[in-house]
Structure 1
Amino acid sequence: MKILNLIMAALLAVLPFTEAKGRLAVVDPILPLIPAPRAWQPAGQEIAVADLVRIVVAVDDQAASRQAELLVGWWHQATGRRIPVQIAGPGEPPAGTIVLRVTGQGPDTAPVVPGAHDETWEMDLTPDGIEIRAPEPAGLFGAMESLRQLALSAGANGTLPCGHVIGGPRFGWRGLLLDSGRHLQDVDFIEDLIDLLALYGFNVLHWHLTEDQGWRLEVPGHQALTDIGAWRNYGDGGRYGGFYTAADIRRVVSHAADRFITVVPEIELPGHAKAALAAYPELSCTGGPFEVETQWGIHEDVFCAGSDAVFALLEDVFDHVVELFPSRYVHIGGDEVPKDRWLACSRCQARITDENLDGVQDLQSWFVGRAARQLADRGRRLVGWDEIIAGGLAEGATVQSWRGTRGAVTAARAGHDAVVSPTSHAYFDYDVGELPLEKVLTFDPVPAELEPEHHHRILGGEMNLWTEYVPQTEIHRQLVPRITAMAEALAAPAGTKDFPGFLRRLHRHEGFWPVLGVMPGPASRPLQIRAEFGTDGGYRLLAHWRDDEDHAARFSGTGLRIQTGLASRPAQWRADVPPEKQPLPAPLEWTSAGFSANTRPPGDILAMARLESDSDTMVYGAPAVVELHESLALGRPVTLVHEPRERYAGYDSFPLTDGVRGGLRFNDGHWSGFEAVDLDATIDLGSQSVDAEISIRCLQDANAWIFLPTEVRFLGSDDGESWQELGVEAHDVPDTEQRVIIRGFSVRTGRKTRFVRVVATNHGICPDWHPGRGKACWIFVDEVLVRK
């Protein structure tokens, strides 16, 4: 018994615990906050959520009183209980109290300059209650959102760990760009999105309101901007669009301000202005006529830099913008401006002469400078994409660096502020296969090459959500869970990012997202499956990291391992739904050793690999899922007249005969891409086949310059030299189709043949309506199947 007592004493000395209602409770040492606080000192005790029964504020603390009402609603959402707000009396507050204190002075809503005020805070959690202190209301709000996370993680019947927490962000600009030009979002949705941003400590909504594909801001006196410019008309008679009224804008701005989020509007100029030109064609170089664009990309018709009427319109637009948006910053875009129209425009050339400019590049700098002066006259500062650096930066301009970080370096060294949102880490419209959560977490807005004396010029960063392919229904899937990694990257102290620890905290958040109405997408696509063939005809499948070296190191210590499985392809699968979204047979047989087959697969099957934790049910990222198809051509060598581009040559040595079909993403590793040439592929089947079906599938993604072949010819031969045409198939899919299309082409041989040849004719060049008109098109092919 003495030995047992000694063991118990030793255990209790090292385990944090609290005595609660007559029992010992081991406290989870993880504080599930995202972003991580600056400091966390656990006390080894806990307090039950149910024991917190009131919120108390000081009688003269109006800022805390207003925020307390928000906390009441959040607490009800997290626990199902409404707790009252009370005014502090003399002495210490009673047990079960959440105390809110603003210790200094500051604005009660979002500052007009993001990050201009103190956002630090402290929180003490004890068995008797919680006290939150902050110098300014913005800090108090951040602490309340952190408490909200803890309550959501714990649930109504859970407990909160006790201890001392210090919080506050590293950067003052922590934003989301929301593109409402390509796809419109309704106001209720935007308010909910603002709530999600606030939960994770973001303080800027960069609202992209005008585009080639839609003008979304109602402007008094210029009704055509929304009567015409807000609507896309499609060839099939369809119409898409809409706009925001002044009342809509005020509602969004007010909702954001109450959550200490500054709304920064973006009015694109001089490019990406086709919607405005459709309304007022006289503001172009050619005079039009124009329609609001239905195609994504870069379009050559832009505002005429030689027209004074353009700047008269901008005067009215900016007057309305500054009336609606209190933000000190107004974004004017300035990116992707073709110069062809300016080169051929007499008015633009006259402007170059009159202003003593050195060509059209200087003309863009002059245009941006004039817009900057218009905004400065209204007490606002211009923000623009990093193209505004060319020709010289306008006075006081802030640069948003998206083509890497070089623009931020150049701006900072020149004495200008910068916001950093590079495609490599911050473009959340990219699929998680290209930009996984684990990569977002490594983002640091301060470029490594920037000298320390210029670091203060880096205001922070943004995640950019362009919506060409992201309608409102898909926004949560694109943002969540990657929003949590960006929150950590922009707020956590430099050098403190811990991926295994972050995943443990993230796992606690996954459980409460449904309570918030958030439907997340995958975090990553860390795995891939490829086929290998032996000289003896053997066949096996390998599941492995997409990037062996980086991922093996990155996932070390996470407790995640690759799990794999096989299943017969369910007959009820829909042909128009990608495999990873299909209903899977249950249960799947998972094994840790991988899967293989020494012979060819017996019919069509499904292969899957995923990352799964040994210790619990945590699954990370999207599974790698492939359909494997039985084929007489499986593993047979392919002779190509033209090789695919190296970047799109497939994962394995036999990409056209590995039995694996591609999905709707052209870069998923299972498509072979041919630029400016035809597909001309010959396969030696090794023996004659009787009346087999030969088929291929091609992909069309017009916005990526990938078009279906104009026709596919199938040929057969006994000797590989003399060919007989077996059939030709064309299609009726229009090249203007905006959706990603996978189209099959097939023929039956009707005769014995040993050699099979497939010739798919390239579309040639992009058509006149396309942003890449005159440039080479691509053909993408996934698999050549030969089946009896």
Structure 2
Amino acid sequence: MRFFRPFFFCVLLITFSCKKETVEKTGIIPQPNYINYQEGSFLITENTTIVVDSSKEGQWIAKELNSFLNENFNLDLKITAKSQANAIQFIVNDKDSEKEAYHLEVSKEGVLINANSYQGVFYGIQTLKQLLTPKTIIKNPVLNFVDIEDSPEYGWRGMMLDVSRHFLEKDSVKKVIDILAMHKMNKLHWHLVDGIGWRIQIDKYPELTKKGAWRKVKEHKKPWEDFESTYEDGEGEVYGGFYTKDDIKEIVAYAAERYIDVIPEIEMPGHSEAALQCYPEFICEDAENTGVYCAGNDGSFEFLQNIINEVVELFPYQYLHIGGDEVGKEAWLNCKRCQKRMRDENLQNGEELQSYFVKRMEKFVHSKNRKLIGWDEILEGGLPERAAVMSWRGFEGGIEAANAGHDVVMSPASPLYFDYNQGTSEFEPPSWGGYNNLLKVYHFNPVPEDIAADKRHHILGGQANLWTEQIKSLSHIEYMMLPRLSALSEALWTNADQKNEQEFIKKIDVHFDRLKALGYNFSWSALSPEYEVTFDKNDKKHVLQLQNELGIYDIRYTLDGSTPSTTSELYSKPIQYSDPIDVYAQTFRNGEAIGFPLKKLFSTSFTEKTKVTYTNPYNESYSGGGDQALFDNRYANPRGDDPNWQGLPQKDFEVIIDLGESTTLSYIGLNFFQHLASTSVMLPTEITIAISKEGKDYQTVYHEILETIKDRNPIIKRIETDFEKQNLSFIKITAKNRGKLPDWHIRNGDAWVFVDEVSIK
């Protein structure tokens, strides 16, 4: 695509020689689809003007740019409608096509941003800001001569922000919007409603925010455990908050100025405990509040339709999200009214009743000139004809919907759940579930090959999802967003032919300084040291390799447990060792320690001769990698889904480790895991470690009865014992399983013991 260039620019480029001056190329995220640097540079001075028409939209954008120049370079430029040289000029062609495209040109006469709408101009300005930052590189507002033509690959470039689990203040939501805008994202999916918090004022049903927006805080319990709505002035500690209609109008307007559509989500038919504690008449007859609206009660539909009537007045955009995920259908199958509905509508099962519910609501949403979108579970039982699908359980739901002719937004949990860890370190802040690192996000492709060629236009784009079960603050939200949102922006904006991982790594390194200058609490996880240990059979030595995800910057380390510094040993080749080593490694960037350190003890005394005998076998689904997993030099992280944990339910963990030969030892250590909020894994009640020379008479070197810890957060309990150095051949470890989960636990059934990595030296 080529834009119209004003005649005076073409003439000036021909008749004036370019000043030759070298300016650092800072890199742009997301990568433009066409960029051509040329010799010469342009310096913005106090005599430079901003040329823009007198429209409200144009004037706002000009003032925003002027504020940026003032804050970063102490410049306050004159804004005028008169074309002139030495200017930053915006030209809008008012064409209907490619509203998000822009052309940015820097020449001797200044900067020209040419677009078909002010949205395109706005994106051009985001690029211009990156050309002028970070200040660590760009000291003065000087620009390379450059020609950039750009437009997005996908029309839906978004992120979902959950404010139900933990409420986010209005000004903090605006800061999230700022982060989206600087990355040329254009959708904020606002998860306003869920089981444990209602966050939007509804005049017809005031209890939704008087009571449904607040919950009792209960000791040693996560918000969703024994959830109980209350009032803001209720007894005991109360948590919550909500947005008034004026708050929402303000946020929607703030986002609109930055060309971001705010898509509200009103959950149905499940995930609705808060609403149903306020209005229990919409629960199935003779049922507990499982958070599911009664599908046999016409009042449920009237209630939700009245809510939607008020919601659409606040959100003027095409889509309305109705959730539709994880709907428990047991109450429906035991409800007389729901059973009657199924007979009357000739529905065969719970899935078809869910489809009936969604289709009925879709008709109403359509009547309000909106388009219904829901999570991929709305496919169950049959999808409404006009509905769009947001695919989170992998790509499969999106593939099915697109091939059936429905619009789709791809948001698979892997790699787009931003509440997952982005690094492998045990020092990462609280997260939920898996692991989505920076480059995994960067390589996200929203269009799988399984979608028919003539249906691929139904893929609108992609979206990250940031759930906040474990995230309570704006600072933590920023950490989980950044820099992964930067990677996603390029995955969704840039044409695949223009993407280059190594170039992105160079750019993200510069981008770190931009984010730092803006005061964002972003993650350095992609630069934290990671490790791999192998055994060289020829040299009879272990080999430790250190690296970070991006493969840049110095990793320095010590082998005596001391804290690394800039003068510590520089990692330049794999470390070979034949005796146990205490590794403490750290990445240094420009002389500063960044990211999380690596602190591990790596053993050497286990060999191919080592055998493990289990009194009670581990569960095959939690094998940790098999019998050798206990000493494979792969440490499990504080997540129940880490494949390095070895686990067994109900029974005790009891092993005898035959070292295969007499070995001189004075230390034994190992790890146990507990996470009450998400798993049935609990710490053992008692641990014993004993040693023997011949495997007959054992000497106890460690014994401890562990106190029960009711903390819901993940715990790794390190067990260590030092003893007099001696020769031995056998180690016996016993960890008592409590058998059954205690009454106060959120779950019922067997307790599990998870164990990993026996270390010796």
Q: TM-score range by the shorter chain?
A: 0.7 to 0.9
Q: Give the Å deviation of 1:53.
A: 2.7
Q: Would you say 1:483 and 2:458 are equivalent positions?
A: no
Q: 1:525 to 1:72 in 2, by over 3 A?
A: closer
Describe the shift of the 1:563–1:654 C-alpha distance in structure 2 as closer, same or farther (beyond 3 A): farther
Q: How does 1:232-631 map to 2 (within 5 A)?
A: 232-236=215-219, 238-285=237-284, 300-433=290-423, 434-472=435-473, 473-522=475-524, 524=526, 528-531=530-533, 540-543=542-545, 560=552, 563=555, 565-570=557-562, 585=565, 587-601=567-581, 605-608=582-585, 617=590, 622=595, 625-628=598-601
Matched, 1:758 2:733: yes
CA distance in 1, matches of 2:209, 2:450: 45
Structure 1 714/417 Cα, relative in aligned 2: closer, same or farther at 3 Å?
same
Counterpart contact for 1:398–1:417, Cα < 8 Å: yes
Q: What is aligned with 1:679?
A: 653
Please state how far the C-alpha of 1:535 moved relative to its aligned partner. Answer: 8.6
Equivalent residue for 1:731?
707
Instruction: Tell me how far 1:180 sits from its aligned partner.
Output: 0.9
**1:194 alignment counterpart:** 177
What do the CA deviations read for 1:419-441 (whole angstroms, capped 9, x no partner)? 11112221111212432221212
Deviation at 1:223, TM superposition (A): 2.8
3-state SS of paired residue (2:557): strand
- Per the alignment, in what secondary structure is the counterpart of residue 577 of structure 2? coil
**2 CA distance for matches of 1:720 and 1:397?**
68
In structure 1, what is the equivalent of residue 227 of structure 2? none
Correspondence 1:132 to 2:124: no
Q: What amino acid is the match of 1:482?
A: R
Moved more, 500-509 or 393-402: 500-509
- Partners in 2 of 1:428 and 1:657 — Cα distance? 32
The reply to whether residue 33 of structure 1 matches residue 28 of structure 2 is yes
Alpha-carbon distance between aligned partners in 1 of 2:624 and 2:47, rounded to the nearest angstrom: 57
Q: What letter corresponds to residue 486 of structure 2 in structure 1?
A: T
Q: Distance in 1 between matches of 2:539 and 2:327?
A: 55
CA drift of 1:527 comes to 6.0
Quote how far apart the aligned CAs of 1:63 are: 3.0
The corresponding residue for 1:80 is 74
Deviation at 1:247, TM superposition (A): 1.8
The answer (yes or no) to whether the contact 1:179–1:466 under 8 Å persists in 2 is yes
Amino acid corresponding to residue 83 of structure 1 in structure 2: L
**Mapping of residues 55-74 of structure 1, within 5 Å:** 55-59=50-54, 61-74=55-68
Q: Which moved more, 1:155-164 or 1:127-136?
A: 155-164
Instruction: After superposing the two structures, state which structure 1 stretch, 138-147 or 742-751, moved more.
Output: 742-751
Q: Which moved more, 1:506-515 or 1:626-635?
A: 626-635
Could you tell me which amino acid in structure 2 is paired with residue 192 of structure 1?
K
Q: What is the Cα deviation at residue 398 of structure 1?
A: 0.6
Q: Is the 8 A contact 2:174 2:251 kept in 1?
A: yes
Instruction: Report the TM-score when normalising by structure 2.
Output: 0.84
Which of 38, 41, 47 matches 1:43?
Answer: 38
Whole-angstrom distance in 2 between the partners of 1:748 and 1:157: 60
- The 3-state SS of whatever aligns with 2:485 is helix
Contact 1:50–1:157 (Cα < 8 Å) also in 2: no
Amino acid at match of 1:321: V
Equivalent in 93, 97, 109 of residue 84 of structure 2? 93
Determine if contact 1:285/1:301 at 8 Å carries over to the other structure.
no
Question: Which position in structure 2 is the counterpart of 1:212?
Answer: 195
- Inter-partner Cα distance in structure 2 for 1:534 and 1:223: 69
Bigger shift: residues 337-346 or 653-662: 653-662
How many residue pairs are counted as aligned between the two chains?
711
Query: Quick one: distance in 1 between partners of 2:462 and 2:751?
Result: 35
Residue identity in the other structure for 1:168: S
Unmatched runs of 5 consecutive residues or more in structure 2? 1-15, 220-235, 424-434
- Secondary structure (helix, strand or coil) at the match of 2:184 reads coil
| CA distance in 2 between partners of 1:94 and 1:189 (Å) | 40
Q: Taking structure 1 as reference, are residues 620 and 715 closer, same or farther at Cα in structure 2, changes over 3 Å only? A: closer
Give the whole-Å Cα distance in 2 for the aligned partners of 1:543 and 1:763: 39
Amino acid at match of 2:125: M
Distance 1:664 1:144, change over 3 A: same
What secondary structure does 1:606 align onto?
Answer: strand
Determine helix, strand or coil for the equivalent of 1:314.
helix
CA distance in 1, matches of 2:254, 2:591: 35
CA distance in 2: counterparts of 1:619 and 1:420, whole angstroms: 38
Deviation at 1:498, TM superposition (A): 0.7
Aligned equivalents of 1:653 and 1:566: distance in 2? 31
Distance apart, 1:486 and its partner CA: 0.7
Q: Deviation digits for residues 167-213 of structure 1, max 9, x if unmatched?
A: 11111111011111112211111111111111111100000111122
Q: CA deviation at 1:147?
A: 1.1
Letter in 2 for 1:126: S
Asked whether the 8 Å contact 1:650–1:672 carries over to 2, the reply is yes
Deviation at 1:308, TM superposition (A): 2.4
Q: Which amino acid aligns with 1:399?
A: V
Shift of 1:533: 6.3
| Aligned partner of residue 467 in structure 1, secondary structure | coil
Rounded Cα–Cα distance in structure 1 between residues aligned with 2:708 and 2:745: 18
CA apart distance, 1:105 = 5.9
Which residue of structure 2 aligns with residue 148 of structure 1?
Answer: 129
Instruction: Judge conservation of contact 1:399–1:408 (CA < 8 Å) in 2.
Output: yes
CA distance in 1 between partners of 2:525 and 2:721 (Å): 41
- Cα gap change, 1:710 to 1:600, in 2 (>3 Å): closer
For residues 569 and 646 of structure 1, the distance between their equivalents in structure 2, rounded to whole angstroms, comes to 35
**Deviation sequence 1:652-708 (CA, Å, 0-9, x none):** 985434677655345667643445654222234666999x88664322123441422
Q: CA deviation at 1:231?
A: 2.7
Contact residue 626 and residue 661 of structure 1 kept, 8 A: no
Amino acid at match of 2:66: V
**Counterpart Cα distance in 1 of 2:42 and 2:621:** 55
Partner letter of residue 523 of structure 2? G
What is the Cα deviation at residue 94 of structure 1?
Answer: 2.9
Q: What per-residue deviation string (whole Å, max 9, x for no partner) do you get for residues 599-638 of structure 1? A: 233xxx333275x8xxx95999956713227899899654
The CA distance in 2 between the partners of 1:274 and 1:336, in whole Å, is 13
Counting only pairs closer than 5 Å after superposition, residues 685-696 of structure 1 correspond to structure 2 as 696=670
Give CA-to-partner distance per residue, 1:337-368, whole Å, 9 cap, x none: 12222222222212211221111110111111
Q: CA deviation at 1:333?
A: 0.7
For structure 1, the 5+ residue unaligned runs are 1-16, 107-115, 291-299, 571-582
CA contact 2:632–2:757 (8 Å) conserved in 1: yes
SS in 2 for 1:702: coil
Q: What percentage of aligned pairs have identical amino acids?
A: 32
Q: Which moved more, 1:356-365 or 1:46-55?
A: 46-55
1:63 and 1:102 in contact (8 A); partners too = no
Amino acid at match of 2:732: R
User: Greater CA deviation, 233-242 or 471-480?
Assistant: 233-242
Residues 34 and 488 of structure 1 are in contact (CA less than 8 Å); yes or no, is this contact kept in structure 2? yes
Q: TM-score under structure 1 normalisation?
A: 0.81
Alpha-carbon distance change, 520 to 600 in structure 1, aligned in 2, over 3 angstroms: same
Quickly say closer, same or farther: Cα 1:204–1:534, change in 2 above 3 A: closer
